[in-house]
Amino acid sequence: MICTSSLFSALLLAASTIATPLTSGGCSTEKALLTLPDGQDKLAKQTGAPSFALLGAGVQNYTCGADGKYAAAGAVADLYDISCLGGTSKFGTVQDEAYGLLKDGKASCISSKLHLDPSGKHFFTPTASGTAPVWDMRAVGPKGVQGKTGAYVLAAKVANLPAPSGTGDVDWLQLKNVEGLLAKDIYRTETRGGQPPASCAVGSGPISVIYTSKYLITLLTMKGGHNLAISRDLLTVGGTVLAFVISFRTSSAYERFQDGSKMWANICTASRNLAQQIWIHVPEDRVLPEKDPIPRLHVIIEKKTMINLIHAFAVSHLLRDEPGVFYEDLYPSVSFLPKYPTSIHEPADIMPLWHIRGGHHTAPAALRRRSTLFKMVEGKRPALKPASYRPEESIYDYLPVLRLPRWTWKRAMEKVRLLAKEDDDEEAPEEEAPKKIKRKRIAYSTVVESTVPVELYLVLSNYTAFNNAISGAMVNSLMQLHEALGQLDRICNNPLPFAYQAHLRMTAWLYIIFLPFQIVDVFKYWTILATFFVATLLCGFLELGQEIENPFNYGLNDLDLDKFCDEILKELRQITAVPCIEPSEFVFGSNSQPLAPHDRRSAQELVTKSEYIGPGRSPLTDMDGLRRTLVRNWAEVDRVTRK
């Protein structure tokens, strides 16, 4: 499962890159509000206070058209921050004062005379459809905005309103963001000047008309603080290296997954071979030196019991960290094995196989009492855990980020209880101070933990004392089981080093952290989705490697060990269902045609004659006839299969 907390953190990081609002230099803009004439319905009413209030002072440019009228050709203006003037009398007159300075040719004195800080430039830039207005604070702007690569806005007109102050003033405008991170909406109000003459002489040159206005910029969405963008080359090289390392991590995990699958296939094959060797090749008529012959029923029961141990060897509890033999699928196959090495049944002498009861899900504190331990191994049938003991899922499996608060809360509560206990001990009189009784829960380290498959391997190895041909084949099958067990233990208990995994995750998160700052200028608001997509890929591959690295648990992506064990059990039952009959009892029947297709006589008919007589007009007899029949069988089959 892809880590939900990781993706949420990446999404939050990308959103914070572009979604932290700014205000102007610490000044409140709540009183720098837009005032529209009553009854107008062209400009939308401003909602809330603007983020910036600016004064624009510059010129409107015009060109003379073929119809003898001037056409707008853009504007150029300096911007000044007037946000701190909101609510004062000067806020209503600052555009008039600036216009007067422009008329007197004192544009350079606006900042010093009116005590205003320069806050950017206003100009027009070419676009695919013509030109568009731009408000740029990248070179000069308020603190926290200046120097940002996205501190500008390219806008498009939404609506206009003729200036209420007179026909000589340019229209009021409402504009919306097209590009840039500086603003969502811009209002041009309180204009002074800027209108061209009513007519022009065709062919005359362009003119510039001075003007001033207020610009109210609303809903700034660019993040303040330091610019965390880094070189594109470094990000590209780092991404390439990270991709190779994550690929190696995922490939290593998948290789372990495949190795686990191969080892289980080897266990299935070796179990089947060993069961066949025991069931078929171990003789049922057995006579021990200087003893009476062993009844055939006893030998069959002995062989069947040993085959049951093969299934017990193959069960999956060891790989799932479920020690002990007290499980529904395991205990019936091993319950007959010795529990004590001597005839005296002392609890302290119990053999390792029977020390742990019920795996790590059962508290071992009950092993403190000798009587409990004795009853555990001597009872008729102890309580058994299910064959497949899937752990219960909780909210922490779906939201791993909650594990940290839970761990912190537990540690804090432990400290509080410890401090409270120390205070109680200090307040108690010295003569009445309770004696500290050291109570230690018996852990698994105090009992002998047995590796169940190894114990069963020793039992099965003791059953190979037959003639060399049979025992050699059985030992080979046992060695295959033992080797597969060692390989599975390597996969299960030897993960990739923690330092490698920790460094890889830190590298991936550094890449994700710096990514939004690198792409925000290009992707704008899509930065959130782009970062989320990249985080999904990186975190997904990391979690995938973590998920399949140990494929022996109960997860959806793990190997189905229960199915493997069931298949082995089914094959063992199928092998023992076939009776051990001498071949001579069934190969010479009437349905057997061993020399077909050339000679289709049954085996029963062939053996009734004293010698073999081949078919045909001039048959050969004895071995010559048999060899001719075999050769013609080959020739006929070859002819048919060539068609």
Q: Do residues 55 and 111 both lie within one domain?
A: yes
Flag whether 38 is in a domain.
yes
Taking 70 as the threshold, does the pLDDT of residue 430 lie above it?
no
Flag whether 261 is in a domain.
yes
Structural contact between residues 389 and 359, judged by C-beta atoms closer than 8 angstroms: yes
- Average pLDDT, rounded, for the chain: 78
**DSSP label at residue 324:** S
Flag whether 229 is in a domain.
no
Handedness of CA 608, 609, 615, 617 (dihedral sign): negative
Q: Do residues 181 and 208 both lie within one domain?
A: yes
What pLDDT, on a 0 to 100 scale, did the predictor assign at position 148? 77
Q: Do residues 213 and 241 both lie within one domain?
A: no
Average pLDDT over residues 527-534: 89
- Looking up tokens 């806008």, which residue turns up? 155
Q: Do residues 382 and 475 both lie within one domain?
A: yes
Give the range among 410-424, 532-546, 619-633 with minimum mean pLDDT.
Answer: 410-424
Burial class (CB within 10 angstroms; exposed 0-12, middle 13-18, buried 19+) of 219: middle
Flag whether 411 is in a domain.
no
Give the range among 19-28, 138-147, 406-415 with minimum mean pLDDT.
Answer: 19-28
More confident of the two residues 38 and 80? 80
Structural contact between residues 269 and 560, judged by C-beta atoms closer than 8 angstroms: no
What Cα–Cα distance (Å) separates residue 498 from each residue in 495, 501, 503, 526? 8, 5, 8, 35
Give the range among 4-13, 52-61, 297-306, 467-476 with minimum mean pLDDT.
Answer: 4-13
Taking 60 as the threshold, does the pLDDT of residue 519 lie above it?
yes
Taking 50 as the threshold, does the pLDDT of residue 433 lie above it?
no
| pLDDT category of residue 155 using cuts at 50, 70 and 90 | very high
**pTM score, two decimals?**
0.51
Taking 70 as the threshold, does the pLDDT of residue 607 lie above it?
yes
| pLDDT category of residue 435 using cuts at 50, 70 and 90 | very low
DSSP class per residue in 240-284: HHHHHHHHHHHHHHHHHHHHHHHHHHHHHHHHHHHHHIIIIIS-S
Q: Do residues 303 and 201 both lie within one domain?
A: no
Q: Do residues 214 and 242 both lie within one domain?
A: no
Q: Do residues 485 and 634 both lie within one domain?
A: no
Half-sphere exposure of 639 (CA within 13 A, CB side): 8
More confident of the two residues 304 and 219? 304
Taking 60 as the threshold, does the pLDDT of residue 442 lie above it?
no
Read off the pLDDT of residues 215-253 as tens digits, 9 standing for 90 and up.
988 755 444 445 556 666 777 888 888 888 888 888 888
What pLDDT, on a 0 to 100 scale, did the predictor assign at position 172? 92
Q: Do residues 379 and 280 both lie within one domain?
A: yes
Flag whether 521 is in a domain.
no
Taking 90 as the threshold, does the pLDDT of residue 140 lie above it?
no
Flag whether 484 is in a domain.
yes
Number of domains in the chain: 3
What Cα–Cα distance (Å) separates residue 133 from each residue in 60, 156, 210, 238? 12, 7, 17, 38
Q: Do residues 257 and 190 both lie within one domain?
A: no
Flag whether 13 is in a domain.
no
Flag whether 594 is in a domain.
yes
| pLDDT category of residue 121 using cuts at 50, 70 and 90 | very high
Q: Rounded CA gap, 320 and 361, in Å?
A: 12
**102 is written with which tokens?**
């422009």
**17 is written with which tokens?**
């890159």
Taking 50 as the threshold, does the pLDDT of residue 434 lie above it?
no
| pLDDT category of residue 165 using cuts at 50, 70 and 90 | confident
Taking 70 as the threshold, does the pLDDT of residue 296 lie above it?
yes
- Which of helix, strand or coil describes residue 119? strand
**Which of 70-79, 271-280, 414-423 is modeled with the greatest confidence?**
70-79
Q: Do residues 190 and 267 both lie within one domain?
A: no
Structural contact between residues 187 and 43, judged by C-beta atoms closer than 8 angstroms: yes
Read off the pLDDT of residues 444-493 as tens digits, 9 standing for 90 and up.
333 344 466 666 666 666 665 555 667 788 888 888 888 888 888 888 88
Q: Rounded CA gap, 86 and 53, in Å?
A: 8
Q: Do residues 171 and 272 both lie within one domain?
A: no
Q: Do residues 361 and 480 both lie within one domain?
A: yes
What pLDDT, on a 0 to 100 scale, did the predictor assign at position 463? 64
Domain that holds residue 359: 235-390+449-514+526-548
Q: Which of 171, 191, 218 is the last residue of a domain?
A: 218
